[in-house]
Chain A
């Protein structure tokens, strides 16, 4: 009963952000899709075709990786910037804290915009990936992973958006954490190709496990359950940290 109440409240919190997506759907889709499609073009057809002995296999390899990196690129910066702007410039984040809703609902509601963006763009990418590479299968389970990954990265964005005091800090975080993750976490090449120390570091990052899961599901190989567990731990830690920051008035 309490869970249903929190889900209902999360929708209420998300309403304003969802209205913005509805009213600006073209802009949302373009900003979410251009990057991943360029990766597909440049790495799948460009570099892949010239350096790989089996271009089709490489294309099938990177489609799940690009879907995985889209769960990060479509969510993190959107949620982080939205929370930061609403908190520091519009002051409207404060209004949420004054409304009769649970803290969990505020946390989940502010992540909704990231999840919707990721669902829209990843679903399109999965379909496009299936069309250009028959080895990529359409699996409903992939959508579940998209939601789980999008929620994890949205929570990370919310945490950063609540923590940062300047938009420049957000740019710094993006340069130092998000961009390296985008390229290194098994999205465009196999993590095992990295030196062993680097591969252990990369293996500890959440996007690596989204890549592994996506590849396992979309290429019909085994689903790595340890990746599910690690992603769940990240999700829980990010959620708890967001909840704690609001509860203790640190945002």
Chain B
């Protein structure tokens, strides 16, 4: 874990190591005078679920587009399994699957035709096409919907179909851009289970989300960015420890104020000092960390 002061985070030296599937170094992306990404450096390790958080306009999608090879960096490099996403983009794309925030399926085609098209584009051998398609569809429980047109599916099933399209070529790195946006709670939990299942089968997951509890529940490590710069990166516990693992909420003058402490004793002592005021002591959440580090929090931490 580290709090960004130099906007530099340790990464495997000399490009991707065996343990690294994506290596982002000094990534800068400018659109005219506007700097969307400002010197990001981080790595995504093989086998992990990596959360990528930030407020609206922080540069998440732009960074993701660079990782997916669509957006060329102004400077810096993105290596996917050692392949430069700009100059060696075809090799990089072979290793990537992406389910975009917007369902990007061809609505003129059936679910099966969409999946088959994606498999053909990824050059799956003809002899393996049917078995790959069936097994990916089975994994997400899509069997009964395969011959329906995409337009006739509900949001949750469309999302599953999009994920099947993203995994049919068995990518090493699966990028999920806000995969549960707009889904009801039940569908969201089903998708969480699917993400865990895919990860357990060996797929590295890169996840962006606005639902902090989603990142908290799923991710092995989380990066928080703001204004195109890295704010913090680490495991959820490491990030909590950055501001203090224990939170004390009080309600003086009708507004909530939160202070964070490293130990329970300090938290209790502070709570006692508040006298009769409404006080609650709880574990610091990733949402607290997010709000504090992106400057939107209402608390104080030492």
List residues of A whose CB falls within 8 A of some B CB.
Answer: 12-13, 15-16, 19-20, 86, 90-92, 94-102, 249
Query: Contact between B113 and A98 (Cβ–Cβ < 8 Å)?
Result: no
**Residues in A neighbouring B118, C-beta threshold 8 A:** 95, 99
Which chain A residue lies CB-closest to B70?
A: A97
* CA distance in complex: A20, B116 (Å): 13
Given contacts A12-B121, A97-B70, A249-B72, 7 further A-B contacts (CB under 8 A): A12-B120, A16-B113, A94-B104, A95-B118, A99-B121, A100-B122, A249-B71
Tell me which of B13-21, B92-100, B201-209 binds A.
Answer: B92-100
Which residue of the partner chain, among B72, B98, B106, contacts A92 with CB atoms under 8 Å?
Answer: B106
The smallest beta-carbon distance between A244 and chain B, in angstroms, is 13
* CA distance in complex: A27, B109 (Å): 15
Query: Contact between B104 and A91 (Cβ–Cβ < 8 Å)?
Result: yes
Query: Contact between B123 and A94 (Cβ–Cβ < 8 Å)?
Result: no
Is the C-beta of B77 less than 8 angstroms from some C-beta in chain A? no
Is the C-beta of B144 less than 8 angstroms from some C-beta in chain A? no
Which chain B residue lies CB-closest to A94?
A: B104
Q: Which residues between 77 and 132 of chain B lie within 8 Å of chain A, taking CB atoms?
A: 90-91, 93-94, 96, 98, 100, 102-109, 113-114, 116-118, 120-123
**Residues in B neighbouring A12, C-beta threshold 8 A:** 120-121, 123
* CA distance in complex: A96, B120 (Å): 11
**Given the known A-B contacts A90-B104, A90-B107, A98-B98, are A15 and B120 also in contact in the complex, defined by CB atoms under 8 Å?**
yes
List residues of B whose CB falls within 8 A of some A CB.
Answer: 68-72, 90-91, 93-94, 96, 98, 100, 102-109, 113-114, 116-118, 120-123, 165
Which chain A residue lies CB-closest to B175?
A: A98
**Residues in B neighbouring A90, C-beta threshold 8 A:** 104-107
* CA distance in complex: A19, B120 (Å): 13
Query: Contact between B93 and A99 (Cβ–Cβ < 8 Å)?
Result: yes
The smallest beta-carbon distance between B93 and chain A, in angstroms, is 4
The smallest beta-carbon distance between B104 and chain A, in angstroms, is 4
Query: Contact between B105 and A92 (Cβ–Cβ < 8 Å)?
Result: yes
**Residues in B neighbouring A95, C-beta threshold 8 A:** 100, 104, 118, 165
* CA distance in complex: A98, B100 (Å): 11
Query: Contact between B103 and A100 (Cβ–Cβ < 8 Å)?
Result: no
Which chain B residue lies CB-closest to A89?
A: B107
The smallest beta-carbon distance between B164 and chain A, in angstroms, is 13
* CA distance in complex: A100, B120 (Å): 11
Query: Contact between A249 and B109 (Cβ–Cβ < 8 Å)?
Result: no
Query: Contact between A102 and B100 (Cβ–Cβ < 8 Å)?
Result: no
* CA distance in complex: A9, B22 (Å): 26
List 7 A-B pairs, minimum CB-CB distance, nearest first. A91-B104, A99-B121, A100-B93, A16-B117, A92-B106, A100-B90, A100-B94
Query: Contact between B109 and A98 (Cβ–Cβ < 8 Å)?
Result: no
**Given the known A-B contacts A12-B121, A19-B113, A100-B123, are A92 and B71 also in contact in the complex, defined by CB atoms under 8 Å?**
no
Query: Contact between B90 and A102 (Cβ–Cβ < 8 Å)?
Result: yes
**Residues in A neighbouring B106, C-beta threshold 8 A:** 16, 86, 90, 92
* CA distance in complex: A194, B102 (Å): 51
Query: Contact between B100 and A16 (Cβ–Cβ < 8 Å)?
Result: no
Which chain B residue lies CB-closest to A247?
A: B72
Which chain B residue lies CB-closest to A13?
A: B121
The smallest beta-carbon distance between B228 and chain A, in angstroms, is 18
* CA distance in complex: A96, B117 (Å): 10
Which residue of the partner chain, among A13, A98, A102, contacts B69 with CB atoms under 8 Å?
Answer: A98
The smallest beta-carbon distance between A157 and chain B, in angstroms, is 17
Query: Contact between B100 and A91 (Cβ–Cβ < 8 Å)?
Result: yes
**Residues in B neighbouring A97, C-beta threshold 8 A:** 70
Cross-chain pairs A/B with CB under 8 angstroms, 13 sampled: A12-B121, A16-B109, A16-B114, A90-B105, A90-B106, A91-B100, A91-B102, A92-B104, A95-B118, A99-B118, A101-B90, A102-B90, A249-B70
**Residues in A neighbouring B109, C-beta threshold 8 A:** 16, 19-20
* CA distance in complex: A100, B93 (Å): 5
**Residues in A neighbouring B116, C-beta threshold 8 A:** 15
**Residues in A neighbouring B108, C-beta threshold 8 A:** 16, 20
**Residues in B neighbouring A102, C-beta threshold 8 A:** 90
* CA distance in complex: A52, B23 (Å): 73
Query: Contact between B105 and A98 (Cβ–Cβ < 8 Å)?
Result: no
**Residues in A neighbouring B91, C-beta threshold 8 A:** 100
Which chain A residue lies CB-closest to B107?
A: A90
* CA distance in complex: A86, B102 (Å): 12
* CA distance in complex: A97, B89 (Å): 10
Query: Contact between B68 and A98 (Cβ–Cβ < 8 Å)?
Result: yes
The smallest beta-carbon distance between B89 and chain A, in angstroms, is 8
Which chain A residue lies CB-closest to B65?
A: A249
Which chain A residue lies CB-closest to B101?
A: A91
**Residues in A neighbouring B113, C-beta threshold 8 A:** 16, 19
Query: Contact between B96 and A98 (Cβ–Cβ < 8 Å)?
Result: yes
Query: Contact between B117 and A98 (Cβ–Cβ < 8 Å)?
Result: no
**Given the known A-B contacts A16-B109, A16-B113, A20-B109, are A94 and B90 also in contact in the complex, defined by CB atoms under 8 Å?**
no
The smallest beta-carbon distance between B91 and chain A, in angstroms, is 7
* CA distance in complex: A4, B165 (Å): 26
* CA distance in complex: A99, B68 (Å): 10
**Residues in A neighbouring B103, C-beta threshold 8 A:** 91
**Residues in A neighbouring B165, C-beta threshold 8 A:** 95
